[in-house]
Structure 1
C-alpha cells in the first residue's frame, strides 16, 4: 500500500441528506450539490447514493461536471448548472439534458437563441455580488424570461453559516422583492440556509457541504476517513532535527514515522505545526513541515510502531483538520488528491 486509503461512507452521506431533508420545511424539495467531483469524493458514486436516498435534482458548477452525474444517474433526474449557459456549452447542455441557471441577459439571449424550448433556471443576485442578475437587470428581462417558463429562480446566501449576520435578512428581503408573486419555484438556502429556518426554504433547498459531513451542519455524520501508510520509522537522538528547514528539533530521544501523503495530496502545508495524526484514539503531532509527498510524525509515545496513521477519522474530522490549516472544511474535502485509493462502503 503505497498511497493513502480514503474511505467514503455512502450510508453516512445518505443519512445526512435525509436529515437535511427532514429539516427542510414540509412540501419543500431537497436537492443535492455534487459539484467539484462530489466535493472531491467521486460525483458518480455520490450522486447514485443520494438518488437512492431520494434526491431528484442535482447541482454542478459547470456543464462539464454534469457528464459524470448524468452517466451515473441516466435520464430522469434534473442536473442544474450554476455557471449557466456559457459560450461553448450548447451541445453539452442539449446532449446531457442539463438545466443551466442563467446568470445574465447575455446568457438568457444565448440560451433562447441556441436552445429554444430547452429547460433553464435563473440565478438572481440578492447581495452576494458574485453570480446572477442584479435587481435592475432582472426587472428589464423578467417579463420575457417568465414567459418562457423557467424551472427555478434561485439566489445564494453569503453569510448563512453565521446565523446572526445581518446580511441574511437583507438578502432574504432582496430575494423576496425580486420574486414574490411569481408563479415559479424558488430556492435560496443551501446547508446554512436550511439551518436558518423555514423563512429561507422556499420551494427547494440545495444542501452541499452538510451532505459530506462539514459545518455548519453540526449534527452531520462523518463521511470520510483518510489513513496514511507508514513508509519508515527512525530513532532520533536529542537535538536532531526533522524535515525541510530543520524546523522541528527533538528535545529528547524520539521516534519519527514518515507517512505517505503531503500537499500534493491536498494535505495543506500550513497545517504542519498544529495538525495531528491518530493511532486509534491517540493523537500524534506532526514533526516539521508537510512536504509534497511525505509527512513526518512524532510517535515516540506509542507502545508499538504503527503500520498506518489516520489524518481524517472520528477523532479529527474535516473541520478540525481545516482549523489546523487555517482554512475551511470545503477546501480540505475538495483538495483530497487523486493518488489515494478510494474505498466506498455502504450505498
Structure 2
C-alpha cells in the first residue's frame, strides 16, 4: 500500500489511546528498535516551497541512525489529517509526528494527541501554551523575517525602478512581518523605495498568483518576493516578464537562474534534529522552539551571478550582525503606511517580543492595505 494514499484506505478511527505515557519510553527499547517518524505535508513535497522545505529536512532524517521515516503529502487541513496521523500511529508505529501545515494544529493535533499520550507531536508554527496544551505536543518556527530583510537589502541594490513587489497569501501577522522586513531592508539602501503588495486570499492559488505577479510587473515593479506555499508560479512569471526575484521557503534558483538574486530559506533540520534527539534519548519533548539565523533555523540562498559586489557586502555585513545578535529589524520611530508611529523612539522589538507575533500593520513605504 502506498504510504501517500494511506488515509484513503482507513476504514475506521478506532480508539488508539495508549495505556502508556510519554515518559514511559525505554532508552533500551529505543536503542533496539528504530524510532518511526511521520512527516505530513499539506501539498506536494516537490513544490519548490513550504512543503519542499520540510521534505528536505525529512530527507536528512532518513540519513540518521535509528530512524524510520514515513511521509504523506497532499493532506488537507481537515479531518483528513486526523486520519493520516492515526494511520501513521496504528499502521506504521510512529512515535513522533511532524504535521507541518499551520492549520493542522487546532483542532486536529489537539484532538489526536490526548488519545495517544505515548506519541510526540511537533507542529510547525503553532503557539503551544503551557497549561493549555498537552505535554506531548510542541511547536517550532523560525525568524525568517531576518532573511526577508536581507532579501530586501539585495532588492534595494538591484532595483532600477525603485519599485519592488510582494505577492502574499493572507494579511496575518507572520505575513505582514515578512512584508515589513523586506520593505525595511530595501529602504535601508534607498529610503525612497516603495513595495507594492497584492494578497491572493489563500496559500496556494496559482491563477491568482500569476495575475498578481503580472499586475505588479505592469505597475513597474522589478524585484519580486512572496509569501505563498509554492513560489514557483511567482518566480517563473516574474522571470518571463524580465524581472528579478528573491525567493522564499526553499531555493527556486533552478526555476529562473537568470532572475534569481537570493532567497529566504527554512533550515528545518535544526529543529527536527533537536526534537528527534530528545525522543531517542527519552528526554522531555521540546514544547516550544524558536530560532533565527544565529540558531540555524533559517538561511539565505546563494547569491545569483547578477548580484553586485556592493549588494553582497551590504547584506553580508548585516547578516554578520544578525548572527552576533546585535541587529534589530523593527526599531524606534517606525511608522506604518498611514504615517502613524507604531514603535516609539528609543524602543526596539526583539525577535522574542510578543508584539511581533501580533503585528497588524504595514510599514511606511508599502503600497497596499491590510484586509
Q: TM-score range by the shorter chain?
A: under 0.3
| Greater Cα radius of gyration, structure 1 or 2 | 1
What is the TM-score of this pair, normalised by structure 1?
A: 0.27
